[in-house]
Amino acid sequence: MVPARNGMLKCRFCGSTVKDPSYTPPAEPPRQAAAPQTASPTGFAGGQGGSFVYEKNINGILEIECRFPTSISAGSGFMVAPGYAITNTHVVTNNAQPCRDITVRLADETISASIVCLGDDQGGHGNGVDLALLKLARVPRNAKIVSLADFGAVKVGESVFVIGNSLGHGTCITGGIVSDKCRQVDGHMLLMTDCAVNGGNSGGPIFNAAGNAIGAIVSGITSAEGMNFAIPANVVAEFIRRNNVQYNMVR
């Protein structure tokens, strides 16, 4: 008999096999525990950032309609305190004249709104900050307050998301990265992103992957691809604070 595979002995003449009584199976190598699945900053394993950010904030995003004597314009905004919202000055003015007929749609309700403060007296084209604070006639039933992020923690290259009333056709979400944290545009230091942005997105928030607003969309270069800009969250926070409104800041 000669050794065969798997602890068997084989007859060299007839080919029959029998079990080798002295055979000891080799020990199995220790099994390695599966690597733990790391949760993304959103709390979803696998990094489902866009869906998380959208669900967390959709009831805090405003679709804004401004009716002027000779025109109608659309924009975006976001709730920063019960009954108060942020948008751009240029959304709610026409030739630097404030709109007197503003309606917002939020959480499936349409509500009138009024301007509390404009950050720029030239309709967003001056030296002031292109922000406006709105007061809603009432707080929608399911309204959600959008939290601001600590802008100091923003990193170039991190994933971000924009939610807004693109082209005035209703709220949608787009994604991209922070292309530049401090880009000087017309004398203002702005955040630059490659998130898709169109007319109607102005005044809406840009979020980090944790679902906190790192800025307010303000402009884009239409002749370029993926060069869009937002007013940093620290500037937004200072504007709100000057108007004595409490807001949520996540550090």
Contact 104, 64 (CB under 8 A): yes
Q: Which two tokens stand for residue 8?
A: 């068997």
The single residue of 73, 159, 166, 202 carrying the catalytic annotation is 202
Q: Let me know if 130 is a catalytic residue.
A: yes
Distance separating the N- and C-terminal Cα atoms of the chain:
76
The single residue of 73, 76, 90, 159 carrying the catalytic annotation is 90
Q: Let me know if 188 is a catalytic residue.
A: no
DSSP letter at 39?
B
Place of tokens 């948008």: 87
Contact 200, 75 (CB under 8 A): yes
- Degrees, nearest 5: CA angle 28-33-35: 145
Q: In angstroms, rounded to a whole number, what is the distance separating the alpha carbons of residues 219 and 198?
A: 9
Q: Which two tokens stand for residue 76?
A: 């975006």
Q: In angstroms, rounded to a whole number, what is the distance separating the alpha carbons of residues 215 and 61?
A: 13
Q: Let me know if 202 is a catalytic residue.
A: yes
Q: In angstroms, rounded to a whole number, what is the distance separating the alpha carbons of residues 9 and 15?
A: 10
Phi, psi of 241 (to 5 degrees): -60, -40
The single residue of 130, 159, 166, 179 carrying the catalytic annotation is 130
Q: In angstroms, rounded to a whole number, what is the distance separating the alpha carbons of residues 160 and 148?
A: 14
Active site members: 90, 130, 202
